[in-house]
Structure formats: structure tokens, C-alpha cells
Amino acid sequence: MDTTTRRTRPSRDPSRHAAPQVFDYLRERIITLDLPPGAPISRAELQEMFGFSSTPVRDALLKLQAEQLVDVFPQHATVVSPIDLALARQAQFMRRSLELEAVRTLTLSEARDTAVERLETVVEIQATLLARGALAEFDLADRDFHRVLFELTGILDLWRMVRRYSGHIDRIRRLHLPMPGKAAQVIVDHRMIVAGIASGDPEKAQAALREHLSKSLAFTDDLKARWPDYFRT
């Protein structure tokens, strides 16, 4: 059986519809590079793993195709798509625009102290995970830091929209994360963002966020040199 699709048997949640379970399972494995660009995806194996019919598996793959995370070749194969830098740049532009406004709103909010406390908690969780060398969990906490910015601003639906378009830049981030010093720098950056919000100076908070997000694409050339087959030419 093709182990590129199956690593561990996912738990099936009877309270959820079938297709979203398959979609979430595959998408997470794609953006964390557990399924790297070019990896084949077996529909039959997914049906066996989840115990679902072909319909929810097909629907999940169509949704991944809409996010351009898989390439479907009818009657032939479905494979994880290469990383598309143009799509990554567009996602970065959208995310930066929204998060800059989010940190400005939080900095000027009467609930600023509560926001700072919440964000500091997430950063401390990241620091603990880094000390343990738990990079996969660190990555989840990294995403949670930015999700909390949207949640505290009351625009969580926009975070969900950002996530739909972030598959390509998330894979770039995941490639870069194990590089020496990268995870530690993320914590430094997050603390600077929180300090900016705590200061009550929106320009300071926005500058810290802009500096942090600018690093997501800064090392693309090096990553392409290391993993040329992972990127769309």
C-alpha cells in the first residue's frame, strides 16, 4: 500500500460530515510537508483509511484542487502540487494588510491589556515547545498566535478566509522553520509585536508586525536552491 498517503490512521468523527474530515487531514499533511510536493494521493487508500465512500474523498480532493494544493490528472493520478510563489505572494499581501489593521485596532482598544495577556500566553507556549524541540507543535502555536490577533479583533471569519489562501506560503514557512535560529527569531518577533501593542503606539506595533511577516518570503531563493523540485517553475 502507498505509504505516501497513509502514515497513521486518522480518527473518524461521527459528529462531522465526511468530506471535511478528509480535507482537513490531507490539507494539514500537505502544509506541514508530511505530504511534500509531487507526492501521490491514493483515493482508494483514503476510502479504506476513513471507511468512507468515494464521494467524500472526491469532494475533499476537489476542494484541495480549488486551493491549488493538489493537481488532479483525470483517470491517471492526483498529486500534491508544487509551491507556487505567485500564490504565496498574494496570500502574504492579504494577510499583511489584514493583520496590520488588526494590531492597530488592538493597540488602540480599551481591552488592550487583555489582548496583551492572551498573546503573551501563546508566546510562552511557543517558547516551551521550542525548548522541547517540538517543532510540529511549535508551528501550530505559531499559527495560533496570528489567529488570536483576528479573534481578539472580532474578525475571525477573515482568518478563515486567509487560511484558505495560505497553503503555499505556509509550506514555505514550514520549509524554513527547521533552519538554525528561525524558530527562536519567531519568538523574538512575536514578543516585539506584543510589546508594540502594549505600548499603545500603533505605529510601533505595525512596524514589528511588518518586519515579522516580511521574513516569510525573504529566504525563498535559498529554499528553492535546496529543494528545487518543490517549487513550480
**One-letter-per-residue 3-state SS of 146-169:** HHHHHHHHCCHHHHHHHHHCCHHH
List the domains of the chain with CATH numbers: 18-80 (1.10.10.10), 85-230 (1.20.120.530)
Q: Is there a contact between 172 and 217 (Cβ–Cβ < 8 Å)?
A: yes
User: Burial level of 147, CB count in 10 A (0-12/13-18/19+)?
Assistant: middle
pTM, entire model? 0.90
Query: Could you read off the pLDDT tens digit of each residue along the chain, which spans 233 residues?
Result: 344 455 566 777 777 788 999 999 999 999 999 999 999 999 999 999 898 999 999 999 999 999 999 999 887 899 999 999 999 999 999 999 999 999 999 999 999 999 999 999 999 999 999 999 999 999 999 999 999 999 999 999 999 999 999 999 999 999 999 999 999 999 999 999 999 999 999 999 999 999 999 998 999 999 999 999 999 97
Structure confidence at residue 1 (pLDDT): 31
Unique residue bearing C-alpha cell 502594549: 198
| Cα→Cα distances 127→8, 122, 139, 151, 184, Å | 28, 9, 11, 22, 8
